Amino acid sequence: MERWFKLKERGTTPGVEVLAGITTFFTMVYIVIVNPGILSQAGMDFHGVFIATVLASIVATLIMGLGANYPIVIAPGMGLNAYFAFTVVSGGGVPWQAALGAVFIAGILFILLSLTSFRYMLLDAIPPSLKHAITAGIGLFITFIGLQNAKIIVHSPSTLLTLGKLAEPMTMLTIIGLAVSLILMSYRVKGYLFIGMLVTAVIAWFMGLLELPDTLVAWPTGLSATAMQLDLSGVFSHGLYAVIFTFLLITLFDTTGTMLGVAEQAGLLKDGKFPRSRGALLADAVGTTTGAVLGTSPTSAYIESSAGVALGGRTGLTAVTVSVLLGLTLFFSPLVSVLAAIPAITAPSLIIVGFLMISVVQKIEWNDFEVVFPAFLIIVLMPLTYSIATGIGVGFIAYPVLKAVRGKWRDVHPIFYLFAVLFFIQLVFFSH
């Protein structure tokens, strides 16, 4: 173990690593409830997505732990699952099988990029402020979905949207659940989202809104409903090129940013550089590809990994511990399906995760007009158009145009002009 994980070299012990893994697990395990709940709204089988979520997370996290030796967890990403379900499938009328095909192609491209230096060119071409704007926009989008699911925001014939009836039991329960999670969050309780879900479930049971299953534990079944169901031909017949690009782009820089942040917190950066970055990125790329084959949206590195790092996690043994615990959740599908079916249990997590994501707006260069206005468009248009890709596309078109008008066209990376042209073609001439 010492030889593989280099525990002494990084100043840690097996006990500390296991404890760090347990902590990280409880901070991110909410995804096994939220992700199948979201994708099932796109017509996918809940139990199939649940198993796919867990297995894809285990595969990617084990590669991260055993291959790259980092205490970083990988699982289907929040925001990407919402884009998959509500923009591509529900909003775009694309069969979920074709959407999985787009995820698979994005995963293959990600693997190829991870093996070459082109990944750095792709990341360097996008100004940091636009990267932060995409994260913030996705945060608003996720929050919007959470508020809609809880019926805190509802449709209005006159104003399109309005405040819902807060006295309705499910809406009131959502507000209570949100309050519980926020209180736990304010006191920095580890795993506050997951604990908040459980507390809300208990309250729902007392209110008669939740009926416990006959059994809490069962052998995992249902994967065949989603596994190997991806439709590659449907990707091209539906023209999902912008979808592939969006999946790839968000996964690439979101994962890179998260990995750098966690590695810096753990003191694992060397001269500001990220050692073994190829293996770390490959872990996520393989996770995304595996997830598409099994039946789930793209994976991403989880910032919740920082919870384990804060407790001393420094090696891949932390990630391996999380993988083992994730494997145990496979046998609790009856309980997971009941929890995910109650909007008030999952909506608070969507709202809070959205809040955490939008906090990056403070990193945007607000004094640079050519950058900040495209960033503004990205943030605003994602929730208003109900499309992450549309928000990115409009912002990526506006940025080089404004730079060129101001005579600063040389400041724009050449590949960014290609992005702008491709998005312009997609938005103007194809369905979006």
Q: What is the pLDDT along the chain (432 residues), one digit of tens a residue?
A: 777 888 888 888 998 899 889 988 988 888 999 999 999 999 999 999 999 999 999 999 999 999 989 999 999 988 889 899 988 999 889 999 999 999 999 999 999 988 887 776 776 778 888 888 988 888 898 899 889 888 898 888 888 889 888 889 999 999 999 999 999 999 988 778 889 989 999 999 999 888 888 888 899 999 999 999 999 999 999 989 889 988 988 888 778 777 877 887 778 777 666 777 788 889 999 999 999 999 999 999 987 888 788 778 899 999 999 999 999 999 998 989 888 888 898 889 889 888 888 888 998 889 988 899 999 999 999 889 887 778 888 999 999 999 999 888 888 888 888 888 888 887 777 655
Two tokens at 181?
A: 């999670």
How confident is the model at residue 424, as a pLDDT?
86
Residue count of the chain, please give it: 432
**For residue 212, how many other CB atoms are within 10 A of its CB?**
11
pTM: 0.82
Distances (CA, A) of 261 to 1, 257, 396: 26, 6, 25
Query: How high is the pLDDT of residue 272?
Result: 60
Report which residue type is found at 55.
Answer: L
Nearest CA to 390 among 354, 426, 429?
426
Find the distance separating the first CA and the last CA of the chain, reported in whole Å. 50
Predicted pLDDT of residue 311: 77
Which string of b and e fits 36-59 if b means at least 16 CB within 10 Å? Answer: bbbbbbbebbbbbbbbbbbbbbbb
- How many CA within 13 A on the CB side of residue 92? 27
Q: CA Rg, the chain, in Å?
A: 21
Spell out the alpha helix ranges (H) of 276-342: 277-294, 305-310, 316-329, 333-340
Contacts of 294 (CB under 8 A, 6+ apart): 51, 52, 55, 56, 223, 226, 227
- pLDDT value, residue 121: 74
Q: For position 105, what pLDDT does the model report? A: 97
Alpha carbons 90 and 145: distance in angstroms, whole number: 13
Calpha distance 260→121 (Å, rounded): 17
What are the C-alpha distances in Å from 194 to residues 132, 152, 190, 348?
Answer: 26, 21, 9, 10
